[in-house]
Amino acid sequence: MSNSKKILLKNNLRPTTQRIAIINYILQKHKVHITAAKLMTHLKNKNINISLATVYNNLNELADKGILKKFFVNNDKMWFDTNLQDHYHFYDSERDELIDIDKNEIAISKHPEIPSGKIKDSINIIINLKNKD
Amino acid sequence: MSNSKKILLKNNLRPTTQRIAIINYILQKHKVHITAAKLMTHLKNKNINISLATVYNNLNELADKGILKKFFVNNDKMWFDTNLQDHYHFYDSERDELIDIDKNEIAISKHPEIPSGKIKDSINIIINLKNKD
DNA sequence: TTTATAGTTTAGAATCATTCTAATAATCTA
DNA sequence: TAGATTATTAGAATGATTCTAAACTATAAA
């Protein structure tokens, strides 16, 4: 049984052609930053039949299962990340690409009191890049 | 001449009814976090005739002129902020509200090398809050 | 191995924030 | 005040994402 299939079964997801193709792509590289549209293009290039709705369904499902991390960059798009560690990103808008920044490279020294009844959930840090000139 | 009108003239913006109402609202409080929809509601409550397109046009214009700062919170909405200092935010999704975090309360110790030809542009930090229980 | 069921995929419609369009209105300048 | 310029507007367009409900596929039970 393929590694992708095992991962799917372990997570109670039926190993369909589309899911296996997605998992294959995600596992192929160590760290992947991907959007639904980019993944769609990639799969079409590999001649895999899949609809955009299925790409979204599955990426969201994998995020729910904790296999991917989901986040947004500015208003643009929903991104999915195979790096599950707490970490942040550079965003190169010209190339539409993300670069990881390790959690331990940013120190949050202190911050205002959190409103009562609330606790910190996720922290989103994006350093937007622009061209030098 | 009203203070709002002066600000508009100084920025080469014709002091229309709609613009004066927007500037009045923004100046009224020291720090305002606002979205187009929230501002629209506020103005309607004050019986000011304004279309959503005009709200967007003007908020974007004020951001271009440096009178407001424009940024996004997750994928949700475009926000405008009268606090022009470098700073970050808590986001309370339940109340759909932002709370400022001073720039000097977060230290960015170091980070991976920036790709050649690029420099840092803006930095976006959002600490998402959730309910304690 | 068939069958029933539960889970998946799909095309296309719906949604929602934002921007665009191009017609009308207001403001300004001479 | 006329003519030029700039603003406002309603409604259409856009684009990413989600929804819908019909068609399909995998699975477990017989």
| Nucleotides of chain C touched by protein CB (<7 A) | 7-12, 17-21, 26-28
Instruction: State the nearest Cα–Cα gap between A3 and chain B, in angstroms.
Output: 32
Residue B81, pLDDT score: 94
Give dist(CA A82, CA A84) in Å, integer. 6
Distance of CA B9 to the CA centre of its chain: 21
Sequential DSSP letters for B23-55: HHHHHHSSS-EEEHHHHHHHHHHTT----HHHH
Answer yes or no: are the C-beta atoms of B108 and A106 closer than 8 Å.
yes
Answer yes or no: are the C-beta atoms of A51 and A58 closer than 8 Å.
no
Answer yes or no: are the C-beta atoms of A81 and A33 closer than 8 Å.
yes
Residue B76, pLDDT score: 67
Instruction: State the nearest Cα–Cα gap between A117 and chain B, in angstroms.
Output: 5
Give dist(CA A59, CA A53) in Å, integer. 10
* Residues in chain B closer than 8 A to A122 (CB atoms): 127-128
User: Is B51 within 7 A of strand D by CB distance?
Assistant: yes
Long-range contacts formed by B43-50: CB under 8 A, 24+ apart: B46/B21, B48/B17, B48/B18, B48/B21, B49/B17, B49/B18, B50/B18, B50/B21
Answer yes or no: are the C-beta atoms of B117 and A132 closer than 8 Å.
yes
A132–B121 CB contact, under 8 Å: no
What residues of chain B, 62 to 101, have a C-beta less than 8 Å from chain A? 71-72, 74-75, 78, 90, 92, 99-101
Indicate whether A17 pLDDT > 70.
yes
pTM: 0.87
Give dist(CA B44, CA B25) in Å, integer. 12
Q: Which nucleotide is nearest to A12 (CA to C1')?
A: C7
Residue A76, pLDDT score: 66
A27: confidence class by pLDDT, cuts 50, 70, 90:
confident
Which one of B107, B111, B125 has the shortest CB-CB distance to A124? B125
Indicate whether A29 pLDDT > 80.
no
B112–A128 CB contact, under 8 Å: no
Give φ, ψ of A51 to 5 degrees: -100, 160
Q: Strand A33-35 to strand A77-81: parallel, antiparallel, or no bridges (unpaired)?
A: antiparallel
Which one of A101, A105, A124 has the shortest CB-CB distance to B128? A124
- Residues in chain B, pLDDT under 50: none
Each residue's pLDDT tens digit, A83-108: 988 899 999 888 888 999 998 888 88
Indicate whether A114 pLDDT > 80.
yes
Answer yes or no: are the C-beta atoms of A124 and A71 closer than 8 Å.
yes
User: Is A13 within 7 A of strand C by CB distance?
Assistant: yes
3-state secondary structure B61-75: HHHHCCCCEEEEECC
Residue B110, pLDDT score: 76
What is chain B's alpha carbon radius of gyration, rounded to the nearest angstrom? 17
Q: Which nucleotide is nearest to A77 (CA to C1')?
A: D16
How much is the average pLDDT of A58-74?
91
A129–B108 CB contact, under 8 Å: no
Among candidate residues A66, A69, A19, the one with its CA nearest the CA of residue A39: A19
The three-point CA angle A58-A62-A67 to 5° equals 150
* Residues in chain B closer than 8 A to A109 (CB atoms): 105-107
Among candidate residues B87, B32, B28, B80, the one with its CA nearest the CA of residue B55: B80
What is chain A's alpha carbon radius of gyration, rounded to the nearest angstrom? 17
Each residue's pLDDT tens digit, A47-58: 999 999 999 999
Query: What are the distances in angstroms from CA B125 to CA A106, B86, B107, B128?
Result: 11, 11, 11, 10
